[in-house]
Amino acid sequence: MHKQQLNGGWIAATVALALLIVGCSGDFSPVPPIAPAPIPDPPVAAPPNILFVVIDDVGMDQLELFGFGGATPPATPMIADIAGAGVSFIDAWAMPACSVTRGVMFEGRFPLRTGMKAALGPNDLANSMTSPYAMTIPKLLSTRGYESAMIGKFHIALPGMNPAGDAIAHDLGWDFFAGWLDETGDPASIDTTAGGVAPPGTYSCGFVPGGHLAHGANSGACYLGDGSCSDLGGDVHTPGRSCRDAGGIFEPFAMCESPPPERLDFSRLNAHSVSPVVYSYPDGSVETLPLTDPRSRQFRASFAVDAAAEWINARPAGQPWMATVSFASIHTPLVQPPVDTRSLASVASGDLDCSSLVAQRVLSNLMVENLDLEIGRLLVAIGLASHDDEGGLVFAPESTDTMVVILGDNGSLGSGVKLPFDLTRAKGQAYQTGVWVPLIVAGPLISAPGRQVSAMVNVADLYALFAEIAGITDVQAEVPRPIDAVSMLPYLADPEQRAMRDWNYTEVGLNVQAGGVINGPCIINSCTQIPNIQSICEDNNGVWWGEGTAASVNGILAPEQGFKFCSEVLDFVTSNGGDAFDIQPLVSIAIRNEGFKLVENTFKDCISTPGSCVDDTVLELYEIDVPILTPWLDREGDELPLDALSATQQSAFDELTERLAALRASVIDCPGDGNIDGVVDARDLEEWERYATSGGGSSVYDLNLDGFTDELDEAIILANMGRDCRVAGG
């Protein structure tokens, strides 16, 4: 602008001088004035890119940078450096389970609106998955020219019960997907055969350990999926683990031979090390990699970083993008990450028995530390940061064009919870340990970095934040149904910003399965119905009591058909001389204001009323706060007596119960409205027909929830034709 002003002045002076000279000659003829050069409008800056990093099962209790981590906190210097260069939110709530949180943050709507209320499993109908008609964040950002990618864990829909199949990411708005569409949405069980080289149960960590351990070896042949082979041994520490890290199968005490031994089985999934990788492209096409492909045999955290960096670095200059890098760490099964030779604990972990609860806590720390390294590697790989001579992160986000957001998707799993948090009230429940998560934001839109924000935020608010980063100022105006997201951007711009949210909400419950089936009971210290299949229960060192159980008590076998509810298991166990155990709620909801928290837990009581099971709902009120170092946690025994509340406590109880009732009342059942536009009309018939004639299985138009999209669902549409639900709520 300064140069333009000088040039304009120079032009004006030149014109004046020319007029003067002509006039003095006596031969005056008007000279048309020369217009000053137009000053162009300043270029409109492109909106920032968005790098959204989701870490799995890492609650607030894990991280020393927030003042926690217990007696042996995992080292997270990269995440700490990012937090130091950005803003840390120290009172952020997620939902108590992974799919539920993901559904909320990508749609900006609480679970009671989306229908996704639990971690998705293979038996859950499409009705409990993110709807293809939802205004997901990639769809919303596409209106501002953004390209969006999802890398890693998906888990807001599963292909088995979804008509989109492996194209579900494209169906929900992402231009690109590279990651895992596992049957359960989470890593497979550990392959205790280590690729077929031993009988099941031999290798608890999925690889051949060192020779000083049972069935171990200090030398052998490492075969890769392409048929190549290397002899390992000598100075290679735990060659079986090194072979696993390279994507191979280790044949102990052997030399390479051609062809490879027939018993080697490259078709076996193996926890975080061998995974079903799917690529989905902008044109809707899908590529499923064979399990012999090196990318399918790469440790999940490393694959996510490599795939994300490849996509991000391929974006054209000036093209805004949002990349969600959704790690599967530290979700069970916990295993050793790739060897970090700088860490004695990492090297020594090759000797662990992964079925041991003690080992699980060590592995939890190692997986968090590996996550930290991978997040740092990602920022360096895409040019947002560099490493100094000592390996530290050099990160100046204010000079970049990318906003970085790091989120824990729910509280930690109980077996890995760090004191002073409550391991009995962790992931899967609406207590603080289950929903209080780390949230960090860094980037060029932040004023006064290196600070903490103590205001309440919810993962739903990230939907608003991403929209605001893209330049959308009125998010609700662009979403055709009510959202629960509250603005977050003011916290980044103004260190003095007052709280935008005066209440918070979280929920976990039951997804919809055909015939009213629910997840079977699983005893992991207490009895829970969060694990959606038997293998997930057992991966968490649990005992399965659902269909197909082999459990027993004092030599008395459980019925072959198993039990439907935990209370039935409790009755069976105690009636046969076993010890009683706690039961986790089937539905756990919490709502809070600045000083108090109301928890509503619902159990199924099959004991008090013989021959039937009835709902048993329990309300608990807590005084709650989240100061660093001394959190007021909602522990058992700390609930306030509801029949003897003070005036202040009673007022809080009344306020929270009324707010919860109002939230529920804002959700109006709209039978027949499969495309969630609020009306039942001819479009619903057209969409129903599309699903009914292209397979007829589970879909959002399976309106009677029987697992089929058929004429019974058409009848529901016809019976409600003309219904308008928009005036009543979302």
Summarize pLDDT for 654-679 with one digit per residue, the tens: 999 999 999 999 999 999 999 999 99
- In this prediction, residue 21 has a pLDDT band, given cuts at 50, 70 and 90, of very low
Mean pLDDT of all residues in 388-415: 95
Query: In 3-state terms, what secondary structure has residue 159?
Result: helix
pLDDT at 40: 55
pLDDT at 36: 52
DSSP of 457-492: EETTHHHHHHHHHTT-S-TGGGSSS-------HHHH
Q: Which CATH architecture best describes the domain 49-188+273-500?
A: 3-Layer(aba) Sandwich (3.40)
- In this prediction, residue 209 has a pLDDT band, given cuts at 50, 70 and 90, of very high
Quick one: how far is CA 544 from the chain centroid? 25
Mean pLDDT of all residues in 8-17: 34
Among 94, 113, 103, smallest CA distance to 663 is for 113
Which three-class secondary structure string do you get for 25-92? CCCCCCCCCCCCCCCCCCCCCCCCEEEEEEECCCCHHHCHHHCCCCCCCCCCHHHHHHHHCCEEEEEE
Specify the residue for token string 């031979």. Answer: 257
* Superfamily classification of domain 668-730: Dockerin domain (1.10.1330.10)
- In this prediction, residue 626 has a pLDDT band, given cuts at 50, 70 and 90, of low
Summarize pLDDT for 484-500 with one digit per residue, the tens: 999 999 999 999 999 99
Quick one: how far is CA 641 from the chain centroid? 36
Q: What Rg do the C-alpha atoms of the chain give, in angstroms?
A: 29
Same fold, 49-188+273-500 and 668-730: no
Summarize pLDDT for 443-477 with one digit per residue, the tens: 999 999 999 999 999 999 999 999 999 999 999 99
pLDDT at 3: 33
Query: In 3-state terms, what secondary structure has residue 662?
Result: helix
Contact 139, 495 (CB under 8 A): no
Name the burial class of residue 420, with classes exposed (0-12), middle (13-18) and buried (19+) by CB atoms within 10 angstroms of its CB.
middle
- Supply φ then ψ for residue 667, to 5 degrees: -100, 115
pLDDT at 520: 95
Statement: the pTM of the whole predicted model exceeds 0.85? yes
Mean pLDDT of all residues in 244-268: 96
Residue 1 pLDDT exceeds 70? no
The first and second tokens of residue 112, run together, are 């009671």
Query: In 3-state terms, what secondary structure has residue 288?
Result: strand
Summarize pLDDT for 54-100 with one digit per residue, the tens: 999 999 999 999 999 999 999 999 999 999 999 999 999 999 999 99
- In this prediction, residue 342 has a pLDDT band, given cuts at 50, 70 and 90, of confident
pLDDT at 697: 97
pLDDT at 651: 98
Domain locations in the chain? Answer: 1-39, 49-188+273-500, 191-268, 519-575, 668-730
**What does the alpha-carbon distance between residue 171 and residue 179 come to, in Å, rounded to a whole number?**
15
Query: In 3-state terms, what secondary structure has residue 403?
Result: strand
* Non-local CB neighbours of 618 within 8 Å, separated by 6+ positions: 585, 600, 601, 602, 603
**What does the alpha-carbon distance between residue 432 and residue 636 come to, in Å, rounded to a whole number?**
12
pLDDT at 728: 54
- In this prediction, residue 19 has a pLDDT band, given cuts at 50, 70 and 90, of very low
Q: Which residue has the higher pLDDT, 145 or 357?
A: 145
pLDDT at 535: 87
pLDDT at 525: 83
pLDDT at 730: 43
Is the four-CA dihedral 689, 691, 695, 696 of positive or negative sign?
negative
Name the burial class of residue 615, with classes exposed (0-12), middle (13-18) and buried (19+) by CB atoms within 10 angstroms of its CB.
exposed
pLDDT at 723: 95
Mean pLDDT of all residues in 259-263: 94
CA angle 177, 182, 187 (to 5 degrees): 105
* Non-local CB neighbours of 197 within 8 Å, separated by 6+ positions: 208, 249, 250, 251, 252, 263, 264
Summarize pLDDT for 25-56 with one digit per residue, the tens: 333 333 444 445 555 555 557 899 999 999 99
Percentages of the chain per state (helix, strand, coil), in multiples of 5: 30, 20, 55
What number of other Cβ atoms are within 10 A of residue 205's Cβ?
30
Q: Which residues pair with 592 in a beta bridge?
A: 504, 597
**What does the alpha-carbon distance between residue 194 and residue 49 come to, in Å, rounded to a whole number?**
41
Name the burial class of residue 271, with classes exposed (0-12), middle (13-18) and buried (19+) by CB atoms within 10 angstroms of its CB.
buried
- In this prediction, residue 729 has a pLDDT band, given cuts at 50, 70 and 90, of very low
**What does the alpha-carbon distance between residue 205 and residue 336 come to, in Å, rounded to a whole number?**
8
Mark out the alpha helices in 90-129 (DSSP H runs). Answer: 98-107, 111-114
Query: In 3-state terms, what secondary structure has residue 442?
Result: strand
Mean pLDDT for all residues in the chain: 91
pLDDT at 638: 92
**What does the alpha-carbon distance between residue 153 and residue 660 come to, in Å, rounded to a whole number?**
32
- In this prediction, residue 501 has a pLDDT band, given cuts at 50, 70 and 90, of very high
- Supply φ then ψ for residue 31, to 5 degrees: -105, 125
Mean pLDDT of all residues in 517-536: 91
